[in-house]
Structure 1
């Protein structure tokens, strides 16, 4: 799947669309369109066929209108991608109260992000180094910062912790998406792939040459019936990320640290 980059559209037009400060109405007698309908259709295209299939033409076809009709509302694909991301982020639940302190709050945020990537696999192929500065992105950032507010971190550390959790989930989700795509494209499950290769590996890989790989690889293969397990990897990694943040919080709360 192709990686796409947010923030590539015209700043003034993108922000106006994201915050809905200006939206043109359909021409009299023309198609019943809106920015929201166009974005919803674009997300449906990406959900079904990936970002590589996304184009103004495909979105127009899904809506049953001419391609040029879309440009009355959205100037191009770059702005559309920003709108899609901001809209998808708005789906995440943000409960006002989460029992268990900062760690539970960060874990809830991470799991919501993971679930969002499962619903919209294309999100893991969107690079957000220049994020769309829309209302849902802003609300999400505010909510995530509130999870670690008042626990002794500096403002820069709060920002870094939020970025760390988000970046971890993004990477883990992309690995899970790629694993699913491998099965779809080859028609072979990970378990089938593993057992097809196992007899040959047993003959080619000398345990005396690769003692650790043979031992650990066998243990992992028996546990997963596959070379890896994306869900296990996510769970294991999330705990380690939270452990690391806990160590930082503890240092900040220790006098003289």
Structure 2
């Protein structure tokens, strides 16, 4: 559930922080306290305790400084959240990006990189980013995503739509993986343990004649996954289907000579 919204801070102050164009504070204070250190502490706090625990006071306590000392560097929580988001978007990808110019392989890499970012920082799911922080890392990421589909026959608006589709899919799909990880941590029981505890009792009450398809498919899935679902496998399956759709759209452009304006109706 969304609890915060990006882009709520003062625009001039947020952009100055995001692009580090704001002058260093002139008032006396701790010389070791910087924007980067404050933001890193805020990210660590959100990673550990969730976004609901984030406040300027808690960040100050985490750093061992007075709350007011933070305001000499960051005006408030809205601006802090924007810089937190841009910072995590600037983290290096776990795996190197493809270098052979294959748009599908590049989009696959981007999707898995985004998936991994959500798993590292589950609080990202609680931030609505329809008004994204316009920082250097967010914009660089958008440039990278668009470059993946540059020159394959799509219009500019279709390129943007493909990127939006990909990111929206990852955002929705990763929620199950995050919830699975959190459930195991908070209950002390893995999915495999939960399934084996419930499966014997389910077999005694499930009427296979009344629910034949659910019984057959559910049993096969449960035996395969050791759980009700496998978020990683479901993610990969769905991602492949989305990219199949993009490939079909690109193929229509090749059959019409690469001119998007001559694509078949409905495309």
State the TM bucket, normalised to the shorter chain.
Answer: over 0.9
Given that 2:43 and 2:84 are in contact with CA atoms closer than 8 Å, whether structure 1 keeps it comes out as yes
2:155 maps to 1:172: no
Structure-1 residue corresponding to 2:251: 250
- Name the CA distance, whole Å, in 2 between partners of 1:3 and 1:223: 36
Structure-2 residue corresponding to 1:12: 12
- Name the CA distance, whole Å, in 2 between partners of 1:35 and 1:23: 11
Aligned residue pairs, count? 257
Aligned CA-pair RMSD: 1.8
Structure-1 residue corresponding to 2:56: 56
Structure-1 residue corresponding to 2:129: 128
Given that 2:98 and 2:105 are in contact with CA atoms closer than 8 Å, whether structure 1 keeps it comes out as no
Alignment of 1:187-198 (within 5 A): 187-198=188-199
Residues 10/224 of structure 1: CA separation in 2 closer, same or farther (3 Å cut): same
Structure 2 residue matching 1:114: 3-state secondary structure? helix
2:206 maps to 1:205: yes
Q: 1:12-52 deviations in whole A, cap 9, x for unaligned?
A: 11111111110433633535211111101101111111112
Q: Please identify, of 150-159 and 91-100, the stretch whose mean Cα deviation from structure 2 is larger.
A: 91-100
- Name the CA distance, whole Å, in 1 between partners of 2:118 and 2:92: 10
Structure-2 residue corresponding to 1:103: 104
Structure-2 residue corresponding to 1:76: 76
Q: Please identify, of 81-90 and 9-18, the stretch whose mean Cα deviation from structure 2 is larger.
A: 9-18
Given that 2:29 and 2:69 are in contact with CA atoms closer than 8 Å, whether structure 1 keeps it comes out as no
Q: State the 1:3 CA deviation.
A: 3.3
Structure 2 residue matching 1:245: 3-state secondary structure? helix
* Structure 1, unpaired ranges of 5+: none
TM-score (norm 1): 0.94
Q: 1:174-198 deviations in whole A, cap 9, x for unaligned?
A: 2211111111222211111112221
Residues 15/225 of structure 1: CA separation in 2 closer, same or farther (3 Å cut): same
Q: 1:172-225 deviations in whole A, cap 9, x for unaligned?
A: 222211111111222211111112221222122211111111000000000011
Structure 1 residue matching 2:8: 3-state secondary structure? coil
Structure 2 residue matching 1:252: 3-state secondary structure? helix
Q: Please identify, of 241-250 and 91-100, the stretch whose mean Cα deviation from structure 2 is larger.
A: 91-100
Given that 2:45 and 2:53 are in contact with CA atoms closer than 8 Å, whether structure 1 keeps it comes out as yes
Q: State the 1:165 CA deviation.
A: 0.9
Q: State the 1:98 CA deviation.
A: 2.2
TM-score (norm 2): 0.90
- Name the CA distance, whole Å, in 1 between partners of 2:23 and 2:200: 62
Structure-1 residue corresponding to 2:236: 235
Residues 36/29 of structure 1: CA separation in 2 closer, same or farther (3 Å cut): closer
